[in-house]
Structure 1
Amino acid sequence: MKYKCLLVDDERLARAELKRLLAAYPQCSVIAEAASGAEALSLLNQHSIDVVFLDIQMPELTGLELALQIPAHTQFIFCTAFNSFALDAFELNAVDYLLKPIVPERLSKAIQKLKPVNSIASPHYLAEQHGILLKFGDSQRVVRLNEISRFESIGNHAAVYTPYGKSFIHSSLAKIEQKLDPALFFKASRADIVRISAINKIEPAINEGGLLAILDDGQQVDVSRRQAQQLKLQFNAF
């Protein structure tokens, strides 16, 4: 099994050292390197990449923010000097989390965790016109996904905001997110997913680095600092 690899780190020496370590693994072929998240995104669009090795602390676009934009069929392993981001990394479905300086034994274990390229299935997202049966008071109504403006986590339930009012479904936000096309819905924080086309305005939030997404129906949704840059990219066409 051969893996086409991309190395992403703003430090040239760090990329060189990782490339040296990977030379011991013939199944890993480094076909490209990037010094920034933006450069990495460009390379991901140009090449068919199987595995991305990425740093976390990088200017402009962090490794965590970059991971949100890595194609679903591409696996990624974090290589960082900081251990404080491990929880966030695994929430993003990282294969592994390696601390610098990288120990060869740990790198070996990480490579062993990689799945065969052909075994990674593309995610199945619900269509915009998919209907969900929701309860409003004493009646039930089929609401299409493109009518829903927001999913909000409330304990082990999720509130669903629609033009017909607010309803609730017995499901976690994580399970809902797996079914939603990221081209249509955006995870603003651990508590909220919003429909991108429902966002009318974006303003700075009180919390430093965060944003406030104002929806067509007037709802104000906090966007976490980690997701703020990602939301700006959603509306950056040029």
Structure 2
Amino acid sequence: MNKLRLVFADDELPAREKLTHQLSLMENIDVVGIATNGKEAISLINELKPDVALLDIQMPEINGLELVDILDHQPLIIYTTAYDQFAVQAFEHASIDYLLKPFPIARLKKALAKAQKQILQQMAVVCANDQPSKIQYELGENKLNKLISKSGERIFLLSPSDIKFIKSEQGNSFAHDGETLHHLSDTLDQLEHSLSGQSFVRIHRSYLVNIDHIKEIQRWFNGKLMVIINDEEKSELSTSRAGADKLKQLLKI
């Protein structure tokens, strides 16, 4: 594949200079933008559409955790910070890695290799799905009739109407039917496109929800919403701010 296109953001000059030097030593990385704060990062990421965003967590005004919920373009996210207490929050925001400062170049290379591997896997899925089967698209070119889940030698055909939500974890997609989590080969971005025109809405970079299975919606903090699913666990899914706006517009609430 071509070089990884990368944007990074850090409000501290010494950190930016060190990271610039480290990345300059990697032939497979193309740094297309450098931001000094969260607002700049949002603008650069949406405009340049990089493959990977390397984000410092603690930045003024909009921090690295908050800005991913505002992005229109969703690159793979790698967080950097000097404080290890943010690790859980980082992975809750579906980052692929978390670098604790000061990190050696070997650790940075490992994180970027993980990103490159995930992108190659996504590209392979796209190529495999270039010729959709009659089973998947028997109702028309843009209407996905069945979701395909493979487990060992078994292949399951899932009706989208039975799926309560689809979530992404560490680059893997899982469809929840109220009883079982089914692994899907497509990425959440691909599923969002395939299921457009049906009852699914992207409420977060990690969640695609079937609105027919929403039991309740609660107002949450920072303009977000908490979506309660009508399954036995009453699953709670937090929206991003952009996802909350999309859901409120769709449901006219």
User: TM-score w.r.t. structure 2 length?
Assistant: 0.54
In 2, Cα distance between equivalents of 1:174 and 1:84: 32
Deviation of the 1:37 alpha carbon = 3.9
The question of whether the paired residues in 1 share the 8 Å contact of 2:165 and 2:209 is answered with: yes
**Distance in 1 between the 2:54 and 2:26 partners?**
14
CA distance in 1 between counterparts of 2:205 and 2:5 reads 32
| Per-residue deviation, residues 25-72 of structure 1 (Å, max 9, x unmatched) | 243232211234443333233224233211223456543454465756
Q: Does 1:231 align with 2:243?
A: yes
Secondary structure of 2:85 counterpart: coil
Give the superposed CA RMSD.
5.1
- Matched AA of 1:2: K
The 3-state SS of whatever aligns with 1:102 is coil
Q: Helix, strand or coil: the match of 2:26? A: coil
Q: Is there any run of 5+ residues in structure 1 with no aligned partner, and where?
A: 134-142, 160-167
Find the counterpart in structure 1 of residue 180 from structure 2. Answer: 170
The code of the aligned residue for 2:202 comes to F
Q: Which segments of 5 or more consecutive residues in structure 2 lack a partner in the other structure?
A: 130-135, 148-157, 168-173
1:181 matched residue in structure 2:
192
What's 1:16 paired with?
Answer: 17
Aligned 8 A contact 2:38 2:63 in 1: yes
Distance 1:20 1:187 in 2: 37
Matched with 1:84 is: 85
| Aligned residue type for 1:186 | R
Distance of aligned partners of 1:110 and 1:195 in 2 relative to their CA distance in 1, 3 Å threshold? same
Aligned to 2:219: 204
Instruction: Tell me which moved more, 119-128 or 93-102.
Output: 119-128
Distance in 2 (CA, whole Å) between partners of 1:236 and 1:208 is: 15
Task: Report the alpha carbon displacement of residue 10 of structure 1 after superposing the two structures with TM.
Answer: 3.5
Structure 2 counterparts to residues 133-144 of structure 1, below 5 A: none
Distance (whole Å) between structure 1 residues aligned to residue 205 and residue 31 of structure 2: 34
1:236–1:44: structure 2 CA closer, same or farther, 3 Å change rule?
farther
Aligned residue-pair number: 209
Between the aligned partners of 1:150 and 1:40, the Cα distance in structure 2 is: 33
Identical aligned residues as a percent: 29
Instruction: Determine helix, strand or coil for the equivalent of 1:32.
Output: strand
Counterparts of 1:221 and 1:46, CA distance in 2: 35
